[in-house]
Amino acid sequence: MSDLPASIHIQPIGRVYSPYRQKFAIPRQPGLVSQVEGVIELLGEFANGDLVRDLEEFSHLWVIFLFHATAADGWTPLIRPPRLGGKIKKGVLATRSTHRPNPLGLSVVRLLRVEQQAGKVRLVIAGHDLLDGTPVVDIKPYLPYADAHADARGGFADDRPTTDIAIRFHPDAERELLRLAPRYPLLRALISDILSQDPRPAYKKSRPLPQRYGMALYDRNIRWLLDELGMEVTAVERLNEQLLQAAADD
């Protein structure tokens, strides 16, 4: 048998346009925030309608992508999954950590529609967990008879993560969301769904209250407070793109 190649070249075929502008607060699995929409736009020679002919016959897709924001961080054989509170080590191949030997991700998404206009080919998707700008390297149709297994075991992550954290909105935040509703009609629901998953890093969950956070969605900075009553969205502000880029570069 011939030797395996030392490296394999993979060319991105598309990029993701997503409301998730930073790694923090992205759902840890696809489907946890079902209403969030995004777009996969095919690039260069792949912006060809023949590539997606009959794709709309399928309700869901497998998206294979690159963890471009964490690839430079490298990987280790053992990691501490947030699902286990960041206290127990598991083999990296027994997790869905972004820090992998090859920074490849796999997500199942719902296909809403295919758009072709002015030489562009765009797949509008929902229920994704993809960072804005993510390079897509392949797309495959989801086949229920082959891909869904009722008797499958989920190991240490067998159940859907849930919390009983109460979510509330400060009146100032409510007024701003109402003003933004024509442009972002699902933003309030998106914020609620993300916060209900408790996006905080595991190591911060033992820190004293109150705790203050911010997360970037679309072109907005969502500020929220965790206290004894739950989580309160305190402000919805215009996003400072320079600060966002600085945070991404750290």
Q: How many CB atoms lie within 10 A of CB 212?
A: 10
Average pLDDT, whole number, for the chain?
91
Same structural domain for residues 191 and 69? no
The token pair at 119 is: 């030489």
Number of domains, the chain: 2
Domain holding 27, by residue range, is: 14-157
Structure tokens, 11: 């060319």
Q: Both 127 and 226 in a single domain?
A: no
Contacts of 9 (CB under 8 A, 6+ apart): none
> Does 147 lie in the same domain as 200?
no
pLDDT for residue 50: 97
pLDDT digit string, tens, across residues 47-73:
999 999 999 999 999 999 999 998 999
Q: What Å distances lie between residue 161 and 32, 53, 164, 166, 174, CA to CA?
A: 9, 36, 11, 15, 27
Residue 204 pLDDT class (50, 70, 90 cuts): confident
Q: Which two tokens stand for residue 4?
A: 């395996």
At residue 2, the pLDDT reads: 67
What was the pLDDT predicted at 248?
A: 56
Scanning the chain, the segments in alpha helix (DSSP H) are 144-147, 171-180, 187-196, 241-249
Q: Among 115-124, 144-153, 196-205, 208-217, whose mean pLDDT is lowest?
A: 196-205
188 with 118, same domain: the answer is no
One domain, residues 30 and 146 = yes
pLDDT of 97 higher than 80? yes
Distance from the Cα of residue 202 to its chain's centroid: 18
User: Domain holding 196: CATH number?
Assistant: 3.30.2310
